[in-house]
């Protein structure tokens, strides 16, 4: 009898160990899809950190920029009871209830990429990224120094508060006339929308995402023969925009180092799970500026999925 009892106890212990082994330590809920050029680099950072730190992870995102769906993904993550949740925070009002529910359930949350101005109000202790308004100011100052007078800020995710702040910061730093062009995140539609504005006397264009609006705006300028006549700058990086910068077609790329935005939250949670340590405030990963002077050096790292 004792032998049989011990056998079943062993089976129960094995089952508990198996459940523990397959449980996810950290769930990442992003508003950006892993197949997007920008977000694929961020996911590379997540994957590398999970491997380096020995942490089991899951990366999730809605199929499109959809705050209702993203809130559901956060709620689903909470129901799985991970040891930590990493989120992007493009809209604190839309996601706040779900974030607070996670914290109330005793699950620590770190925000990354979007949310540098809103994370603390939701009870999140740390954010990994750049301060978007200040990054926009820096871009505006560079365009002003280059001689810009009338600018267009192309927003491909209307409703993403972080992108709104980028345009607002750019407007402050630029000092001249700045109009906001709201578009969808369809590159063809963006190209058409930018092309339609080129006769409006704009000498400067800032886009808020290299792989989508940046490349689309460059195509519009190339088709119109306006490369060099209209200055183009963008947030973030993509292989094509890096090549364009190296060729002198782009004034700058504002680099927030999304690889680190994916990597560092996982590394932080690994230490938190071991020692209970947690940083407070914004862990800055940018902004940095990639220009025609240094673009060639960055290209090799981008080709390997690090930039």
- So what's the pLDDT on residue 200? 94
- Please report the pLDDT score of residue 33 as a whole number: 87
pLDDT of amino acid 35: 82
Among candidates 263, 222, 203, which has minimal Cα distance to 50?
263
- Predicted model pTM: 0.79
CATH architecture classification, 2-130+257-276: 3-Layer(aba) Sandwich (3.40)
Per-residue pLDDT of the chain (307 residues), as tens digits, is 444 444 334 434 443 443 344 468 999 999 998 888 789 999 999 999 999 999 999 999 999 889 999 999 999 999 999 999 999 999 999 999 999 999 999 999 999 999 998 999 999 989 999 999 999 999 999 999 999 999 999 999 988 888 999 999 999 999 999 999 999 989 999 999 999 999 999 999 999 999 899 999 999 999 999 999 999 999 999 999 999 999 999 999 999 999 999 999 999 999 999 999 999 999 999 999 999 999 999 999 988 999 8
- Which residues, 6 or more positions from 16, have their beta carbon under 8 angstroms from its beta carbon? none
Domain 2-130+257-276 identical in fold to domain 132-255+291-303: yes
Delimit the domains of the chain by residue range.
2-130+257-276, 132-255+291-303
Q: Virtual CA dihedral for 91, 74, 127, 242, nearest 10 degrees?
A: -70
CATH superfamily of 132-255+291-303: Response regulator (3.40.50.2300)
Q: What ranges make up the beta strands (E) of the chain?
A: 26-29, 57-60, 84-87, 109-112, 126-129, 150-155, 177-182, 204-207, 231-235, 252-255, 281-284, 288-290
């Amino acid at each position: 009898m004792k032998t049989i009892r011990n056998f079943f106890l062993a089976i129960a212990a094995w089952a508990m160990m198996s459940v523990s082994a397959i449980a996810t330590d950290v769930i990442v809920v992003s508003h950006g899809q892993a197949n997007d050029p920008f977000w694929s680099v961020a996911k590379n950072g997540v994957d590398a950190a999970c491997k380096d730190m020995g942490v089991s992870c899951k990366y999730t995102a809605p199929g499109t920029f959809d705050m209702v769906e993203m809130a559901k993904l956060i709620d689903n993550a909470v129901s799985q009871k991970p040891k930590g949740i990493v989120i992007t925070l493009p809209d604190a009002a839309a996601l706040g209830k779900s974030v607070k529910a996670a914290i109330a359930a005793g699950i620590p949350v770190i925000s990354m990429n979007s949310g540098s101005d809103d994370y603390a109000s939701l009870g999140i202790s740390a954010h990994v990224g750049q301060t978007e308004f200040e990054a926009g100011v820096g871009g505006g100052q560079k365009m002003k120094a280059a001689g810009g007078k009338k600018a267009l800020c192309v927003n491909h995710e209307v409703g993403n508060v972080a992108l709104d702040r980028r345009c607002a910061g750019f407007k402050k730093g630029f000092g001249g006339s700045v109009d906001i062009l709201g578009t969808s995140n369809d590159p063809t539609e963006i190209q058409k929308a930018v092309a339609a504005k080129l006769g409006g006397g704009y000498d400067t264009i800032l886009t808020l995402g290299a792989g989508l609006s940046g490349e689309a705006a460059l195509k519009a300028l190339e088709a119109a023969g306006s490369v060099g006549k209209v200055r183009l700058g963008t947030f973030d990086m993509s292989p094509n925009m890096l090549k364009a910068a190296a060729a002198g077609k782009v004034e700058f790329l504002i680099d927030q180092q999304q690889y680190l935005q994916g990597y560092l939250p996982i590394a932080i949670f690994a230490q938190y799970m071991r020692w209970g340590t947690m940083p407070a405030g914004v862990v800055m990963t940018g902004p940095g500026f990639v220009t025609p002077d240094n673009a060639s050096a960055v290209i090799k790292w981008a080709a390997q999925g690090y930039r």
